[in-house]
């Protein structure tokens, strides 16, 4: 009798254990009863169910980082090796639809194929060097938008596509480096030319100022002014010490120093 009771107790405990589950934070549950999906999403928390006819499938709705390495075709026909991260999550309100129409392996079934097709389609519109320069962000956004165009209606949201590393063919690397060097040289020469143009402009402005000054000065040197300045000079000479000989026509004095030479 006692062994029978023990077996019943163990069996009961096992049934109770298998009829309970916990849906964690960042997940939702999808209830399947006799093969039929219940359209109502099971929220996070402890849940009980009949283990003989029902299962609860947990679906993560938090952000998932899917890392993929693949070769992308470029516009000029060069294959570029890239390591890319896809950040996505399942729309919790559509989790039952995802399980019913796609299945639990939705990442391999739809996310990866859609990504590979979208990435190849977008990259083929850009030159290989664009994937290594400032156009990388544009490529990432276009791939993300194209993926969402196919996945949003199926309950999967792509948050970002991040190109972490790009490996170009060695000869293309050299060509890009040579082009960048040529652009830097051109920018340096443009700077030198601009500096010379500024210096030439400064000298032109200075020459114009001197010319205007001389013209104004010449216009102001009338005969009366010259005679007045001559009288001032005579007056200063008269008051200065030492013997001097002044030769003048009455307008402009010419001074000969009369001091004895040693």
CA dist 50 and 33 (Å) reads: 9
CA dist 88 and 112 (Å) reads: 11
Give residue limits of the domains in the chain.
64-173, 191-220, 223-257
Q: Is the dihedral of CA 141, 147, 153, 154 positive or negative?
A: negative
Task: Pull the structure tokens for residue 74.
Answer: 């470029």
Write phi, then psi, for 76 (nearest 5 degrees): -85, 5
Q: Which neighbouring-strand residues pair with 256?
A: 245
CA dist 74 and 128 (Å) reads: 5
Residues 126-165 pLDDT 10s = 888 787 777 888 999 999 999 999 999 999 999 999 998 8
Q: How many CB atoms lie within 10 A of CB 118?
A: 22
CA dist 107 and 142 (Å) reads: 20
Q: Give the residue ranges of DSSP H helices in the chain.
A: 2-18, 95-101, 106, 112-123, 136-151, 170-220, 223-239
| SS3 label, residue 48 | strand
Q: pTM higher than 0.85 for the full model?
A: no
Residues 80-120 pLDDT 10s = 888 999 999 999 999 999 999 998 899 999 999 999 999 99
Residues 216-258 pLDDT 10s = 766 666 666 666 666 676 666 666 666 666 665 555 555 455 4
Q: Give the pLDDT of residue 247.
A: 60
Q: Could you tell me if 111 and 86 are in contact, meaning their C-beta atoms sit under 8 angstroms apart?
A: yes
Query: How is 131-185 classified by DSSP, letter by letter?
Result: GGSTTHHHHHHHHHHHHHHHHGGGTEEEEEEEEEEEE--HHHHHHHHHHHHHHHH
CA dist 160 and 87 (Å) reads: 5
Residues 7-63 pLDDT 10s = 555 444 444 445 667 778 888 888 888 888 888 888 877 776 667 777 888 889 999
Q: Give the pLDDT of residue 117.
A: 94
* Terminal-residue alpha carbon distance, the chain: 152
CA dist 2 and 7 (Å) reads: 9
**Which helix (H) or strand (E) is 94 found in, with range?**
none
CA angle 128, 133, 134 (to 5 degrees): 125
Q: Could you tell me if 140 and 148 are in contact, meaning their C-beta atoms sit under 8 angstroms apart?
A: no
Q: Which neighbouring-strand residues pair with 83?
A: 69, 165
Class of 64-173 in CATH: alpha beta
Residues 48-69 pLDDT 10s = 666 777 788 888 999 999 999 9
- Which of the two residues, 90 and 199, has the higher pLDDT score? 90
């Amino acid at each position: 009798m006692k062994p029978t009771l023990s077996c019943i107790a163990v069996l009961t405990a096992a049934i109770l254990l298998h009829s309970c589950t916990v849906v964690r934070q960042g997940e939702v549950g999808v209830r399947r009863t006799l093969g039929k999906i219940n359209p109502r999403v099971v929220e996070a928390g402890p849940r009980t169910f009949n283990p003989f006819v029902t299962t609860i499938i947990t679906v993560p709705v938090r952000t998932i980082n899917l890392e993929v390495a693949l070769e992308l075709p470029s516009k000029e026909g060069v294959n570029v090796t890239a390591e890319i991260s896809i950040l996505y999550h399942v729309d919790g309100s559509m989790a039952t639809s995802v399980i019913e129409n796609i299945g639990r392996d939705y990442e391999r079934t739809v996310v990866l194929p859609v990504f590979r097709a979208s990435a190849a389609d977008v990259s083929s519109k850009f030159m290989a060097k664009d994937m290594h320069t400032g156009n990388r962000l544009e490529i990432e956004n276009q791939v993300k938008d194209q993926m969402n165009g196919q996945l949003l209606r199926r309950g999967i949201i792509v948050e970002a596509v991040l190109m972490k590393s790009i490996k170009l063919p060695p000869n293309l690397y050299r060509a890009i480096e040579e082009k960048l060097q040529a652009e830097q040289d051109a920018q340096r020469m443009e700077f030198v030319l601009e500096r010379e143009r500024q210096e030439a402009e400064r000298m032109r402005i200075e020459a114009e100022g001197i010319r205007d000054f001389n013209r104004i000065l010449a216009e102001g040197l009338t005969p009366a002014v010259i005679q007045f300045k001559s009288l001032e000079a005579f007056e200063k000479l008269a008051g200065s010490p030492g013997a001097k000989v002044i030769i003048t026509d009455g307008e402009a004095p010419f001074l000969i120093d009369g001091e004895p030479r040693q």
